[in-house]
Amino acid sequence: MIKKVISIILLISALMSLTACGEKELNKYQSEFLMLFDTVTRIVGYSESKEEFKEYSQIIHDDLKEYHQLYDIYNDYEGVNNIKTINDNAGIKPVKVDKRIIELLKFSKELYEKTNGKTNIAFGSVLKIWHKYRNEGIEDPENASLPTDEELKIANEHTNIEDMIIDEENSTVFLKDPLMSLDVGAIAKGYATEQASKMARDSGLHSGLLSVGGNVRAINNNATTNEPWNVGIQNPDREAEKSVIEVVKLDNSSLVTSGDYERYYTVDGEKYNHIIDPDTMYPSKYFTAVSIISKNSGVSDALSTAIFCMPFEEGLEFINSMPETEAMWIFSDKTIKYSDNFESFIKQ
């Protein structure tokens, strides 16, 4: 985890200058900051001056910071009721929350229904167990172990999303089941990326690329070429010569990848990743990585987790039935498969 006290913009650099676009001269800038969503945020964009770009970066930073605090399940912030506050009050009382929490939870419930329960933000009780075993296993690999079926089964009785009671009128959320908890890790980053990119666009950034730990959202296309942005998909095989396995073209759309290669632990030589299939309560082992392209990075994030938990044929059918949504699967033997129209996004 990145735990440095650097939440300000670290770096703004001009990447290219004097690029003509219509009558205005646009320069390409880039900024980067840490600390939000425990990952690195990168912004690339075209604007007329460094000062202007700095403003956009600041707007995105400040917006993401608020989302980060609201959607945090581990930490408290003074004066903020967040997802952790909701969890802490499970079975006790409704918690008054910001509209942005209500919106995220409503969105998550929609995606739960769309994905037949594969992405379930009410899966916290089971995810917590894996989280604990994973952390202990990473800390002390010799003694790494697996949760017992019994403890998983008991926890799994407290994962009913219908027990999350949203009162929009009063802007409160109540978890009816005292033993349940919300984990928005599969959706929040992509959802917040979507909102922050909207905010930047509304503030005047007309050409940009926002990446929050690999959740990528393109704001329009690349202003200099008038072509889509080129975005690399990381090769899950870290030892491979090519660090980027595919470059895709994004025009006002998003790319999100879920993989088994960043967060996992090992028990008796076997890898256990951090994406848990609600139907088995075990880490999903179908693929090494799944990437989703769709217009909305919140949707892409939720689907990347869901598709990661579905057998290929089922996921393929699911994705092909969704308009303007594409997927790429990477299997552990390095085979790559695509949904019907994914290849039209690949840069040749």
185 binds, among ligand ADP, Mg ion, none (CB under 5 to 8 A by kind): ligand ADP
Q: Does 193 engage in binding with Mg ion (CB under 5 A)?
A: no
Could you tell me the smallest distance in angstroms from the CB atom of residue 30 to ligand ADP? 22
249 binds, among ligand ADP, Mg ion, none (CB under 5 to 8 A by kind): none
Q: Does 186 engage in binding with Mg ion (CB under 5 A)?
A: yes
Could you tell me the smallest distance in angstroms from the CB atom of residue 217 to Mg ion? 14
The footprint of ligand ADP (CB under 6 A) covers: 118-121, 123, 127, 183, 185-186, 189, 258, 263, 274-276, 278, 301, 304-305, 309
Could you tell me the smallest distance in angstroms from the CB atom of residue 129 to ligand ADP? 12
| Rounded Cα–Cα distance for residues 342 and 345 (Å) | 6
278 binds, among Mg ion, ligand ADP, none (CB under 5 to 8 A by kind): ligand ADP
Point out which span in 52-60, 151-159, 186-194, 339-347 binds Mg ion (CB under 5 A): 186-194
| Rounded Cα–Cα distance for residues 308 and 280 (Å) | 13
Toward ligand ADP, which CB reaches closer, 220 or 296? 296
Could you tell me the smallest distance in angstroms from the CB atom of residue 261 to ligand ADP? 10
| Rounded Cα–Cα distance for residues 71 and 338 (Å) | 32
Under 8 Å between Cβ of 219 and 200: yes
| Rounded Cα–Cα distance for residues 105 and 184 (Å) | 9
Toward ligand ADP, which CB reaches closer, 55 or 277? 277
**Which residue number places its CB atom closest to ligand ADP?**
185
**CA distances (Å), 179 to each of 3, 122, 128, 164, 196, in order?**
30, 11, 12, 12, 33
Could you tell me the smallest distance in angstroms from the CB atom of residue 220 to Mg ion? 24
Please list the residues that pair with 336 across neighbouring strands: 330
298 binds, among ligand ADP, Mg ion, none (CB under 5 to 8 A by kind): none
Tally: H helices and E strands in the chain:
8, 18
Among 57, 197, 304, 325, binds Mg ion (CB under 5 A): 304
Burial of 73 (0-12, 13-18, 19+ CB in 10 A): buried
The SS3 call for residue 309 is coil
Could you tell me the smallest distance in angstroms from the CB atom of residue 263 to Mg ion? 12
Q: Does 183 engage in binding with Mg ion (CB under 5 A)?
A: no
| Rounded Cα–Cα distance for residues 259 and 245 (Å) | 13
117 HSE (CA, 13 A, CB side) = 10
Instruction: Provide the binding-site residues for Mg ion, judged by CB under 5 A.
Output: 186, 301, 304-305
